[in-house]
Amino acid sequence: MNTFFALFLIALFASLAITPLVRRLCERFRLLDVPLDERRVHTKAIPRLGGVGIYLSVLIALSTLPLVDNLFTESLHAYRSQFFMILIPATLVLCLGMYDDLRGANATLKFAVLGMIAALFFWMGGRIDAFAIPFVGSVHLPSTLSFVVTILWLVGITNAFNLIDGMDGLASGAALFSSLVILVVSLAGENPLMIVVALVLCGALSGFLRYNFNPASIFLGDSGALFVGFTLAALSVVGTHKASTAVAVITPILAFGLPLVDTSVTLARRLISGRPVFQGDSEHIHHMLLARGWSQRHVAMVLYGVCAAFGLLAMIFTKTSSPLMGFVLFVVVVAVVFAVGRLRYHEMDEIRAGVKRTVGDRRVRVANNINVRRASLALSKAANLGQLFHAISQMLASGEFVYAEARLGQAGDAEDNERAFANAGGNHAMKRAELCNGRISWSWGRDGIESDEVVGSRRFWSVRLPLCTDRGDWGWINLYREVEAPPLLVDMSYLCDLFRRELSDATERVLAAPKARAGAPSLGMSVSAGKLSN
Protein backbone atom coordinates (compact mmCIF):
# COMPACT_ATOMS: atom_id res chain seq x y z
CA MET A 1 0.00 0.00 0.00
CA ASN A 2 2.90 2.35 0.72
CA THR A 3 4.13 1.74 -2.81
CA PHE A 4 0.77 2.84 -4.19
CA PHE A 5 0.79 6.07 -2.19
CA ALA A 6 4.37 6.76 -3.20
CA LEU A 7 3.68 6.26 -6.92
CA PHE A 8 0.63 8.53 -6.80
CA LEU A 9 2.44 11.27 -4.89
CA ILE A 10 5.50 11.14 -7.14
CA ALA A 11 3.32 11.49 -10.25
CA LEU A 12 1.26 14.25 -8.57
CA PHE A 13 4.21 16.39 -7.49
CA ALA A 14 6.09 15.78 -10.72
CA SER A 15 3.06 17.06 -12.65
CA LEU A 16 2.72 20.07 -10.34
CA ALA A 17 6.38 20.94 -10.94
CA ILE A 18 6.78 20.10 -14.64
CA THR A 19 3.54 21.60 -15.99
CA PRO A 20 4.53 25.24 -15.16
CA LEU A 21 7.92 24.64 -16.83
CA VAL A 22 6.22 23.37 -19.98
CA ARG A 23 3.87 26.35 -19.86
CA ARG A 24 6.75 28.82 -19.69
CA LEU A 25 8.56 27.12 -22.57
CA CYS A 26 5.40 27.28 -24.68
CA GLU A 27 5.01 30.99 -23.90
CA ARG A 28 8.67 31.66 -24.72
CA PHE A 29 8.57 29.90 -28.09
CA ARG A 30 4.98 31.02 -28.88
CA LEU A 31 3.57 27.50 -28.89
CA LEU A 32 0.07 28.76 -28.16
CA ASP A 33 -3.51 27.85 -28.98
CA VAL A 34 -4.82 31.04 -30.60
CA PRO A 35 -8.66 31.31 -30.80
CA LEU A 36 -9.13 31.83 -34.54
CA ASP A 37 -12.58 30.27 -34.98
CA GLU A 38 -15.93 30.09 -33.20
CA ARG A 39 -15.29 26.54 -31.95
CA ARG A 40 -12.77 27.88 -29.44
CA VAL A 41 -14.24 28.66 -26.03
CA HIS A 42 -11.21 30.62 -24.76
CA THR A 43 -10.63 34.22 -25.82
CA LYS A 44 -6.84 34.55 -25.48
CA ALA A 45 -3.81 32.53 -26.57
CA ILE A 46 -3.05 29.64 -24.18
CA PRO A 47 -0.02 27.26 -24.12
CA ARG A 48 -1.04 23.92 -25.58
CA LEU A 49 1.56 21.20 -24.91
CA GLY A 50 0.23 20.08 -21.53
CA GLY A 51 0.42 16.45 -22.65
CA VAL A 52 4.22 16.64 -22.46
CA GLY A 53 4.01 17.43 -18.74
CA ILE A 54 1.66 14.51 -18.10
CA TYR A 55 3.87 12.13 -20.10
CA LEU A 56 7.05 13.17 -18.26
CA SER A 57 5.30 12.89 -14.88
CA VAL A 58 4.16 9.34 -15.72
CA LEU A 59 7.68 8.38 -16.82
CA ILE A 60 9.27 9.83 -13.67
CA ALA A 61 6.86 7.92 -11.43
CA LEU A 62 7.33 4.64 -13.32
CA SER A 63 11.14 5.03 -13.37
CA THR A 64 11.19 4.81 -9.55
CA LEU A 65 9.81 1.25 -9.57
CA PRO A 66 13.25 -0.41 -10.03
CA LEU A 67 14.36 1.41 -6.86
CA VAL A 68 11.71 -0.37 -4.80
CA ASP A 69 12.14 -3.99 -3.77
CA ASN A 70 9.02 -5.67 -2.42
CA LEU A 71 6.54 -8.37 -3.36
CA PHE A 72 4.48 -5.99 -5.48
CA THR A 73 7.39 -4.76 -7.60
CA GLU A 74 8.62 -8.33 -8.00
CA SER A 75 5.22 -9.33 -9.39
CA LEU A 76 5.62 -6.66 -12.07
CA HIS A 77 8.52 -8.53 -13.68
CA ALA A 78 6.07 -10.95 -15.26
CA TYR A 79 4.32 -8.00 -16.96
CA ARG A 80 7.43 -6.40 -18.47
CA SER A 81 6.42 -7.19 -22.07
CA GLN A 82 2.92 -5.79 -21.51
CA PHE A 83 4.42 -2.67 -19.98
CA PHE A 84 6.39 -1.93 -23.17
CA MET A 85 3.39 -3.00 -25.23
CA ILE A 86 1.54 0.00 -23.75
CA LEU A 87 4.39 2.50 -23.32
CA ILE A 88 5.94 2.32 -26.80
CA PRO A 89 2.72 2.89 -28.81
CA ALA A 90 1.59 5.53 -26.29
CA THR A 91 4.87 7.41 -26.80
CA LEU A 92 4.36 7.32 -30.56
CA VAL A 93 0.83 8.69 -30.09
CA LEU A 94 2.28 11.51 -27.97
CA CYS A 95 4.69 12.34 -30.81
CA LEU A 96 1.78 12.40 -33.27
CA GLY A 97 -0.09 14.77 -30.99
CA MET A 98 2.93 17.04 -30.61
CA TYR A 99 3.31 17.19 -34.39
CA ASP A 100 -0.34 18.16 -34.67
CA ASP A 101 0.05 20.85 -31.98
CA LEU A 102 3.19 22.29 -33.58
CA ARG A 103 2.65 21.86 -37.31
CA GLY A 104 -0.97 20.82 -37.74
CA ALA A 105 -2.21 17.54 -39.21
CA ASN A 106 -5.43 16.85 -41.08
CA ALA A 107 -7.90 14.19 -39.97
CA THR A 108 -6.83 11.70 -42.64
CA LEU A 109 -3.19 11.77 -41.56
CA LYS A 110 -4.05 11.50 -37.86
CA PHE A 111 -6.38 8.54 -38.37
CA ALA A 112 -3.89 6.79 -40.64
CA VAL A 113 -1.01 7.15 -38.17
CA LEU A 114 -3.23 6.21 -35.22
CA GLY A 115 -4.32 3.13 -37.13
CA MET A 116 -0.70 2.11 -37.70
CA ILE A 117 0.20 2.66 -34.04
CA ALA A 118 -2.85 0.61 -33.00
CA ALA A 119 -1.69 -2.13 -35.41
CA LEU A 120 1.72 -2.06 -33.67
CA PHE A 121 -0.05 -2.50 -30.33
CA PHE A 122 -1.93 -5.51 -31.76
CA TRP A 123 1.29 -6.99 -33.16
CA MET A 124 2.93 -6.64 -29.74
CA GLY A 125 0.15 -8.73 -28.19
CA GLY A 126 -2.61 -6.31 -27.21
CA ARG A 127 -5.90 -7.47 -28.64
CA ILE A 128 -9.60 -7.97 -28.01
CA ASP A 129 -10.17 -11.70 -28.46
CA ALA A 130 -13.78 -12.03 -27.36
CA PHE A 131 -16.81 -10.09 -26.22
CA ALA A 132 -20.37 -10.75 -25.10
CA ILE A 133 -23.49 -10.38 -27.22
CA PRO A 134 -26.78 -10.06 -25.31
CA PHE A 135 -28.85 -13.27 -25.39
CA VAL A 136 -26.04 -15.01 -27.27
CA GLY A 137 -23.18 -15.14 -24.79
CA SER A 138 -19.44 -15.02 -25.22
CA VAL A 139 -18.19 -14.87 -28.80
CA HIS A 140 -14.57 -15.64 -29.65
CA LEU A 141 -13.28 -13.47 -32.46
CA PRO A 142 -11.20 -14.86 -35.33
CA SER A 143 -7.83 -13.20 -35.83
CA THR A 144 -8.90 -10.84 -38.61
CA LEU A 145 -12.01 -9.64 -36.78
CA SER A 146 -10.03 -9.32 -33.56
CA PHE A 147 -7.58 -7.05 -35.38
CA VAL A 148 -10.37 -4.85 -36.76
CA VAL A 149 -12.21 -4.57 -33.42
CA THR A 150 -8.99 -3.76 -31.55
CA ILE A 151 -8.01 -1.04 -34.03
CA LEU A 152 -11.48 0.50 -33.98
CA TRP A 153 -11.59 0.48 -30.18
CA LEU A 154 -8.15 2.08 -29.74
CA VAL A 155 -8.64 4.72 -32.44
CA GLY A 156 -12.20 5.43 -31.33
CA ILE A 157 -11.45 5.94 -27.64
CA THR A 158 -8.33 7.97 -28.41
CA ASN A 159 -10.29 10.37 -30.60
CA ALA A 160 -13.21 10.43 -28.17
CA PHE A 161 -11.00 12.12 -25.58
CA ASN A 162 -9.63 14.44 -28.24
CA LEU A 163 -13.15 15.48 -29.25
CA ILE A 164 -14.22 16.52 -25.75
CA ASP A 165 -11.05 18.54 -25.22
CA GLY A 166 -12.84 21.77 -26.05
CA MET A 167 -13.23 23.39 -22.66
CA ASP A 168 -11.06 24.07 -19.62
CA GLY A 169 -10.51 20.93 -17.56
CA LEU A 170 -13.10 18.77 -19.33
CA ALA A 171 -10.95 16.16 -21.11
CA SER A 172 -8.40 15.93 -18.28
CA GLY A 173 -11.18 15.61 -15.68
CA ALA A 174 -13.00 12.94 -17.70
CA ALA A 175 -9.69 11.08 -18.12
CA LEU A 176 -9.11 11.27 -14.36
CA PHE A 177 -12.48 9.64 -13.65
CA SER A 178 -11.81 6.94 -16.26
CA SER A 179 -8.39 6.29 -14.70
CA LEU A 180 -10.00 5.92 -11.28
CA VAL A 181 -12.48 3.37 -12.62
CA ILE A 182 -9.72 1.35 -14.27
CA LEU A 183 -7.69 1.57 -11.05
CA VAL A 184 -10.57 0.21 -8.94
CA VAL A 185 -11.29 -2.55 -11.46
CA SER A 186 -7.61 -3.51 -11.62
CA LEU A 187 -7.40 -3.59 -7.81
CA ALA A 188 -10.35 -5.97 -7.75
CA GLY A 189 -8.75 -8.10 -10.47
CA GLU A 190 -5.28 -7.95 -8.96
CA ASN A 191 -3.60 -6.83 -12.18
CA PRO A 192 -0.31 -5.14 -11.12
CA LEU A 193 0.41 -3.56 -14.49
CA MET A 194 -3.00 -1.88 -14.72
CA ILE A 195 -2.76 -0.77 -11.09
CA VAL A 196 0.59 0.93 -11.63
CA VAL A 197 -0.21 2.68 -14.90
CA ALA A 198 -3.70 3.78 -13.79
CA LEU A 199 -2.30 5.01 -10.48
CA VAL A 200 0.42 7.19 -11.98
CA LEU A 201 -2.07 8.51 -14.56
CA CYS A 202 -4.37 9.55 -11.71
CA GLY A 203 -1.50 11.39 -10.05
CA ALA A 204 -0.31 13.11 -13.22
CA LEU A 205 -3.84 14.18 -14.23
CA SER A 206 -4.61 15.45 -10.72
CA GLY A 207 -1.53 17.67 -10.78
CA PHE A 208 -2.27 18.87 -14.29
CA LEU A 209 -5.87 19.81 -13.38
CA ARG A 210 -4.41 22.38 -11.00
CA TYR A 211 -3.43 24.40 -14.09
CA ASN A 212 -6.05 23.18 -16.56
CA PHE A 213 -9.24 23.87 -14.62
CA ASN A 214 -11.04 27.09 -15.48
CA PRO A 215 -9.48 29.55 -15.96
CA ALA A 216 -6.89 27.32 -17.62
CA SER A 217 -3.31 28.49 -18.00
CA ILE A 218 -2.32 25.50 -20.17
CA PHE A 219 -4.21 23.06 -22.40
CA LEU A 220 -3.79 19.33 -22.90
CA GLY A 221 -3.41 19.88 -26.62
CA ASP A 222 -3.63 16.99 -29.05
CA SER A 223 -0.46 15.62 -27.47
CA GLY A 224 -2.16 15.20 -24.10
CA ALA A 225 -5.65 14.21 -25.27
CA LEU A 226 -4.36 11.56 -27.69
CA PHE A 227 -1.75 10.21 -25.26
CA VAL A 228 -4.18 9.90 -22.34
CA GLY A 229 -6.96 8.51 -24.54
CA PHE A 230 -4.72 5.88 -26.12
CA THR A 231 -3.18 4.85 -22.78
CA LEU A 232 -6.60 4.37 -21.18
CA ALA A 233 -7.89 2.46 -24.22
CA ALA A 234 -4.82 0.21 -24.16
CA LEU A 235 -5.28 -0.43 -20.44
CA SER A 236 -8.88 -1.44 -21.01
CA VAL A 237 -7.77 -3.93 -23.68
CA VAL A 238 -5.11 -5.41 -21.38
CA GLY A 239 -7.70 -5.69 -18.62
CA THR A 240 -10.06 -7.82 -20.74
CA HIS A 241 -7.81 -10.88 -20.49
CA LYS A 242 -8.54 -11.61 -16.84
CA ALA A 243 -12.09 -10.26 -16.60
CA SER A 244 -15.28 -12.09 -17.34
CA THR A 245 -16.53 -11.41 -20.83
CA ALA A 246 -19.51 -9.27 -19.83
CA VAL A 247 -17.38 -7.19 -17.48
CA ALA A 248 -14.68 -6.87 -20.13
CA VAL A 249 -17.19 -5.29 -22.53
CA ILE A 250 -19.48 -3.24 -20.31
CA THR A 251 -16.95 -1.85 -17.81
CA PRO A 252 -14.73 -0.01 -20.36
CA ILE A 253 -17.80 1.39 -22.12
CA LEU A 254 -19.11 2.79 -18.84
CA ALA A 255 -15.65 3.96 -17.79
CA PHE A 256 -15.43 6.05 -20.97
CA GLY A 257 -19.11 6.98 -20.80
CA LEU A 258 -19.00 10.73 -21.46
CA PRO A 259 -16.40 10.67 -24.29
CA LEU A 260 -18.25 7.80 -25.99
CA VAL A 261 -21.65 9.50 -25.69
CA ASP A 262 -20.29 12.77 -27.06
CA THR A 263 -18.52 11.01 -29.93
CA SER A 264 -21.59 8.92 -30.80
CA VAL A 265 -23.85 11.97 -30.76
CA THR A 266 -21.35 13.93 -32.87
CA LEU A 267 -21.07 11.20 -35.51
CA ALA A 268 -24.85 10.72 -35.60
CA ARG A 269 -25.44 14.48 -35.96
CA ARG A 270 -23.02 14.86 -38.82
CA LEU A 271 -24.32 11.82 -40.68
CA ILE A 272 -27.95 12.92 -40.28
CA SER A 273 -27.26 16.49 -41.41
CA GLY A 274 -25.04 15.35 -44.29
CA ARG A 275 -21.94 17.15 -43.05
CA PRO A 276 -18.40 15.71 -43.28
CA VAL A 277 -17.81 13.36 -40.34
CA PHE A 278 -14.38 14.81 -39.58
CA GLN A 279 -15.35 18.47 -39.89
CA GLY A 280 -15.20 20.23 -36.53
CA ASP A 281 -18.15 22.17 -35.16
CA SER A 282 -19.31 23.95 -32.01
CA GLU A 283 -22.18 21.63 -31.13
CA HIS A 284 -20.55 19.18 -28.73
CA ILE A 285 -22.30 18.53 -25.44
CA HIS A 286 -20.22 21.11 -23.58
CA HIS A 287 -20.90 23.69 -26.31
CA MET A 288 -24.65 23.14 -26.00
CA LEU A 289 -24.50 23.58 -22.23
CA LEU A 290 -22.43 26.75 -22.59
CA ALA A 291 -25.01 28.04 -25.08
CA ARG A 292 -27.59 27.88 -22.27
CA GLY A 293 -25.62 30.55 -20.45
CA TRP A 294 -23.79 28.24 -18.04
CA SER A 295 -20.25 29.14 -17.02
CA GLN A 296 -17.34 26.87 -17.91
CA ARG A 297 -16.96 25.89 -14.26
CA HIS A 298 -20.66 25.00 -14.01
CA VAL A 299 -20.51 22.90 -17.17
CA ALA A 300 -17.31 21.18 -16.01
CA MET A 301 -18.79 20.28 -12.63
CA VAL A 302 -22.00 18.92 -14.18
CA LEU A 303 -20.07 16.79 -16.66
CA TYR A 304 -17.74 15.60 -13.89
CA GLY A 305 -20.89 14.41 -12.15
CA VAL A 306 -21.88 12.53 -15.32
CA CYS A 307 -18.43 10.91 -15.43
CA ALA A 308 -18.72 9.97 -11.76
CA ALA A 309 -22.14 8.39 -12.34
CA PHE A 310 -20.81 6.33 -15.26
CA GLY A 311 -17.79 5.34 -13.17
CA LEU A 312 -19.95 4.25 -10.25
CA LEU A 313 -22.07 2.09 -12.54
CA ALA A 314 -18.92 0.54 -14.02
CA MET A 315 -17.63 -0.37 -10.56
CA ILE A 316 -21.01 -1.77 -9.48
CA PHE A 317 -21.20 -3.83 -12.65
CA THR A 318 -17.74 -5.22 -11.91
CA LYS A 319 -18.87 -6.44 -8.49
CA THR A 320 -22.09 -8.13 -9.58
CA SER A 321 -23.38 -10.08 -12.54
CA SER A 322 -27.04 -9.95 -11.48
CA PRO A 323 -29.58 -10.05 -14.35
CA LEU A 324 -30.97 -6.84 -12.87
CA MET A 325 -27.88 -5.06 -14.22
CA GLY A 326 -29.23 -5.56 -17.73
CA PHE A 327 -32.30 -3.55 -16.78
CA VAL A 328 -30.10 -0.93 -15.12
CA LEU A 329 -28.09 -0.55 -18.32
CA PHE A 330 -31.32 -0.17 -20.28
CA VAL A 331 -32.41 2.61 -17.93
CA VAL A 332 -29.01 4.28 -18.36
CA VAL A 333 -29.35 4.22 -22.15
CA VAL A 334 -32.86 5.71 -21.97
CA ALA A 335 -31.64 8.40 -19.56
CA VAL A 336 -28.73 9.28 -21.87
CA VAL A 337 -31.04 9.53 -24.89
CA PHE A 338 -33.45 11.72 -22.94
CA ALA A 339 -30.66 13.96 -21.63
CA VAL A 340 -29.13 14.40 -25.09
CA GLY A 341 -32.57 15.22 -26.44
CA ARG A 342 -32.91 18.00 -23.88
CA LEU A 343 -29.83 19.70 -25.35
CA ARG A 344 -32.01 20.71 -28.33
CA TYR A 345 -29.78 19.48 -31.12
CA HIS A 346 -31.37 20.35 -34.46
CA GLU A 347 -30.82 16.81 -35.68
CA MET A 348 -32.54 15.31 -32.63
CA ASP A 349 -35.47 17.70 -32.96
CA GLU A 350 -35.84 16.71 -36.60
CA ILE A 351 -35.77 13.00 -35.73
CA ARG A 352 -38.52 13.55 -33.16
CA ALA A 353 -40.51 15.56 -35.68
CA GLY A 354 -40.00 12.81 -38.26
CA VAL A 355 -41.23 10.15 -35.84
CA LYS A 356 -44.26 12.28 -35.00
CA ARG A 357 -44.99 12.80 -38.70
CA THR A 358 -44.62 9.10 -39.40
CA VAL A 359 -46.49 7.73 -36.39
CA GLY A 360 -48.67 10.42 -34.85
CA ASP A 361 -49.66 12.61 -37.80
CA ARG A 362 -49.61 10.06 -40.59
CA ARG A 363 -53.36 9.31 -40.55
CA VAL A 364 -54.34 13.01 -40.61
CA ARG A 365 -51.78 13.79 -43.31
CA VAL A 366 -53.04 10.95 -45.50
CA ALA A 367 -56.66 12.11 -45.01
CA ASN A 368 -55.78 15.69 -45.96
CA ASN A 369 -53.87 14.57 -49.05
CA ILE A 370 -56.89 12.50 -50.08
CA ASN A 371 -59.10 15.60 -49.68
CA VAL A 372 -56.79 17.50 -52.04
CA ARG A 373 -57.02 14.67 -54.55
CA ARG A 374 -60.82 14.60 -54.30
CA ALA A 375 -61.01 18.36 -54.77
CA SER A 376 -58.71 18.09 -57.80
CA LEU A 377 -60.95 15.41 -59.31
CA ALA A 378 -64.05 17.56 -58.66
CA LEU A 379 -62.31 20.51 -60.34
CA SER A 380 -61.59 18.42 -63.41
CA LYS A 381 -65.37 17.92 -63.78
CA ALA A 382 -66.49 21.45 -62.83
CA ALA A 383 -68.74 23.00 -65.51
CA ASN A 384 -69.45 26.38 -63.85
CA LEU A 385 -68.16 28.70 -61.15
CA GLY A 386 -70.50 27.30 -58.51
CA GLN A 387 -69.07 23.79 -58.89
CA LEU A 388 -65.53 25.21 -59.02
CA PHE A 389 -65.90 27.15 -55.76
CA HIS A 390 -67.69 24.24 -54.12
CA ALA A 391 -64.72 21.94 -54.87
CA ILE A 392 -62.31 24.48 -53.35
CA SER A 393 -64.51 24.83 -50.24
CA GLN A 394 -64.57 21.07 -49.73
CA MET A 395 -60.77 20.96 -49.79
CA LEU A 396 -60.45 23.89 -47.37
CA ALA A 397 -62.87 22.23 -44.96
CA SER A 398 -60.10 19.78 -43.97
CA GLY A 399 -58.97 22.44 -41.48
CA GLU A 400 -55.40 23.24 -42.53
CA PHE A 401 -56.21 26.79 -43.72
CA VAL A 402 -58.44 29.41 -42.09
CA TYR A 403 -59.04 31.78 -44.99
CA ALA A 404 -58.80 31.89 -48.76
CA GLU A 405 -59.35 34.51 -51.42
CA ALA A 406 -59.31 34.17 -55.20
CA ARG A 407 -59.34 36.54 -58.15
CA LEU A 408 -60.35 34.86 -61.41
CA GLY A 409 -60.56 36.03 -65.00
CA GLN A 410 -58.51 37.99 -67.49
CA ALA A 411 -58.64 41.75 -67.27
CA GLY A 412 -59.73 42.28 -70.90
CA ASP A 413 -62.55 39.71 -70.81
CA ALA A 414 -65.05 41.46 -68.54
CA GLU A 415 -68.05 40.36 -70.62
CA ASP A 416 -67.00 36.70 -70.57
CA ASN A 417 -66.41 36.89 -66.82
CA GLU A 418 -69.85 38.40 -66.31
CA ARG A 419 -71.48 35.67 -68.42
CA ALA A 420 -69.62 32.97 -66.44
CA PHE A 421 -70.76 34.62 -63.21
CA ALA A 422 -74.36 34.71 -64.43
CA ASN A 423 -74.19 31.01 -65.37
CA ALA A 424 -72.75 29.95 -61.99
CA GLY A 425 -76.00 28.53 -60.69
CA GLY A 426 -77.35 28.72 -57.16
CA ASN A 427 -74.51 26.90 -55.41
CA HIS A 428 -74.00 27.84 -51.74
CA ALA A 429 -70.32 28.57 -52.39
CA MET A 430 -71.31 31.48 -54.67
CA LYS A 431 -72.57 33.54 -51.72
CA ARG A 432 -69.07 34.97 -51.17
CA ALA A 433 -68.39 35.60 -54.86
CA GLU A 434 -68.82 38.96 -56.63
CA LEU A 435 -67.77 40.85 -59.71
CA CYS A 436 -65.07 43.42 -59.09
CA ASN A 437 -63.74 45.61 -61.94
CA GLY A 438 -64.72 43.03 -64.50
CA ARG A 439 -63.11 40.09 -62.67
CA ILE A 440 -64.54 37.52 -60.27
CA SER A 441 -63.58 37.80 -56.58
CA TRP A 442 -64.29 34.99 -54.12
CA SER A 443 -63.39 34.36 -50.52
CA TRP A 444 -63.81 31.65 -47.90
CA GLY A 445 -63.35 31.92 -44.15
CA ARG A 446 -63.48 29.45 -41.29
CA ASP A 447 -65.82 30.32 -38.40
CA GLY A 448 -66.86 33.60 -39.93
CA ILE A 449 -63.33 34.99 -40.35
CA GLU A 450 -63.33 38.02 -42.64
CA SER A 451 -60.71 39.55 -44.91
CA ASP A 452 -59.83 42.49 -42.65
CA GLU A 453 -58.85 40.06 -39.85
CA VAL A 454 -56.41 38.12 -42.03
CA VAL A 455 -55.04 40.02 -45.01
CA GLY A 456 -52.04 42.09 -43.95
CA SER A 457 -52.05 40.66 -40.42
CA ARG A 458 -48.81 39.44 -38.86
CA ARG A 459 -50.69 36.53 -37.30
CA PHE A 460 -51.04 34.72 -40.64
CA TRP A 461 -48.82 33.48 -43.41
CA SER A 462 -50.06 32.78 -46.92
CA VAL A 463 -49.23 30.90 -50.07
CA ARG A 464 -50.30 32.18 -53.50
CA LEU A 465 -51.07 29.72 -56.29
CA PRO A 466 -50.96 31.42 -59.71
CA LEU A 467 -53.57 30.02 -62.12
CA CYS A 468 -52.12 29.78 -65.60
CA THR A 469 -52.38 27.51 -68.64
CA ASP A 470 -50.98 27.52 -72.15
CA ARG A 471 -53.67 30.06 -73.12
CA GLY A 472 -52.67 32.62 -70.51
CA ASP A 473 -53.08 33.71 -66.91
CA TRP A 474 -56.46 33.18 -65.28
CA GLY A 475 -55.90 34.74 -61.86
CA TRP A 476 -54.71 33.46 -58.48
CA ILE A 477 -55.81 32.04 -55.16
CA ASN A 478 -54.28 32.83 -51.76
CA LEU A 479 -54.47 30.36 -48.85
CA TYR A 480 -53.95 31.71 -45.30
CA ARG A 481 -52.83 29.94 -42.13
CA GLU A 482 -52.04 31.11 -38.60
CA VAL A 483 -48.32 31.55 -37.83
CA GLU A 484 -48.67 29.82 -34.45
CA ALA A 485 -50.77 26.94 -35.77
CA PRO A 486 -49.51 23.34 -35.46
CA PRO A 487 -47.41 21.93 -38.33
CA LEU A 488 -49.12 21.80 -41.71
CA LEU A 489 -50.44 18.28 -42.29
CA VAL A 490 -50.83 18.27 -46.05
CA ASP A 491 -48.32 17.72 -48.81
CA MET A 492 -47.58 21.12 -50.34
CA SER A 493 -46.52 19.48 -53.60
CA TYR A 494 -50.12 18.27 -53.98
CA LEU A 495 -51.41 21.82 -53.55
CA CYS A 496 -48.77 23.48 -55.74
CA ASP A 497 -48.85 20.88 -58.49
CA LEU A 498 -51.97 18.72 -58.73
CA PHE A 499 -54.54 21.08 -57.16
CA ARG A 500 -53.16 24.23 -58.82
CA ARG A 501 -53.04 22.57 -62.25
CA GLU A 502 -56.63 21.29 -62.05
CA LEU A 503 -57.88 24.65 -60.71
CA SER A 504 -56.12 26.45 -63.56
CA ASP A 505 -57.65 24.15 -66.17
CA ALA A 506 -61.09 24.40 -64.56
CA THR A 507 -60.91 28.21 -64.46
CA GLU A 508 -59.93 28.37 -68.14
CA ARG A 509 -62.70 25.93 -69.07
CA VAL A 510 -65.41 27.77 -67.11
CA LEU A 511 -64.43 31.29 -68.16
CA ALA A 512 -63.67 30.47 -71.81
CA ALA A 513 -66.89 28.45 -72.33
CA PRO A 514 -69.21 31.50 -72.64
CA LYS A 515 -66.92 32.99 -75.28
CA ALA A 516 -66.86 29.70 -77.19
CA ARG A 517 -70.67 29.40 -77.09
CA ALA A 518 -71.15 33.01 -78.12
CA GLY A 519 -68.71 32.87 -81.02
CA ALA A 520 -69.70 29.50 -82.56
CA PRO A 521 -72.85 29.14 -84.79
CA SER A 522 -75.51 26.74 -83.62
CA LEU A 523 -76.08 23.37 -85.30
CA GLY A 524 -79.57 24.40 -86.46
CA MET A 525 -78.32 27.54 -88.22
CA SER A 526 -75.67 25.52 -90.04
CA VAL A 527 -78.22 23.04 -91.38
CA SER A 528 -80.62 25.78 -92.36
CA ALA A 529 -77.91 27.62 -94.23
CA GLY A 530 -77.01 24.46 -95.99
CA LYS A 531 -80.58 23.95 -97.23
CA LEU A 532 -80.81 27.51 -98.53
CA SER A 533 -77.61 27.13 -100.46
CA ASN A 534 -78.85 23.98 -102.05
Task: Give which of 204, 303, 205 is closest to 259, Cα–Cα.
Answer: 303
pLDDT tens-digit series, residues 496-521: 999 999 999 999 999 986 555 555 44
> Could you give all domains of the chain from N- to C-terminal order, each with its CATH number?
2-324 (no CATH), 362-519 (3.30.450)
Q: At what angle do helices 80-102 and 107-123 cross, to 10 degrees?
A: 170
pLDDT tens-digit series, residues 182-216: 998 888 877 899 999 999 999 999 999 999 999 99
In this predicted structure, the answer to whether residue 135 has a pLDDT above a threshold of 60 is: no
In this predicted structure, the answer to whether residue 286 has a pLDDT above a threshold of 50 is: yes
pLDDT tens-digit series, residues 387-412: 999 999 999 987 789 999 999 998 77
User: What is the per-residue pLDDT for 132?
Assistant: 60
On average, the pLDDT of the chain sits at: 86
Task: Give which of 380, 375, 378, 385 is closest to 513, Cα–Cα.
Answer: 385
The larger pLDDT score, comparing residue 366 to residue 353, is at 366
Residue type, 93: V
Q: What is the mean pLDDT of residues 258-265?
A: 94
Q: What is the mean pLDDT of residues 310-318?
A: 86
Task: Give which of 427, 433, 424 is closest to 404, Cα–Cα.
Answer: 433
In this predicted structure, the answer to whether residue 531 has a pLDDT above a threshold of 50 is: no
User: What is the per-residue pLDDT for 307?
Assistant: 95
Which of 242-256, 333-347, 494-508, 510-524 shows the lowest per-residue confidence on average (mean pLDDT)?
510-524
What distances in angstroms separate CA 317 from CA 193, 307, 453, one per listed residue? 22, 15, 64
Query: Model confidence at 260, in pLDDT bands (50, 70, 90)?
Result: very high
Percent of the chain with pLDDT over 90: 54
Q: pTM surpassing 0.85?
A: no
Instruction: Report the distance separating Cα 15 and Cα 9, nearest Å.
Output: 10
pLDDT tens-digit series, residues 42-101: 778 899 999 999 999 999 999 999 888 888 888 888 888 999 999 999 999 999 999 999
Burial class (CB in 10 A: 0-12, 13-18, 19+), 437: exposed
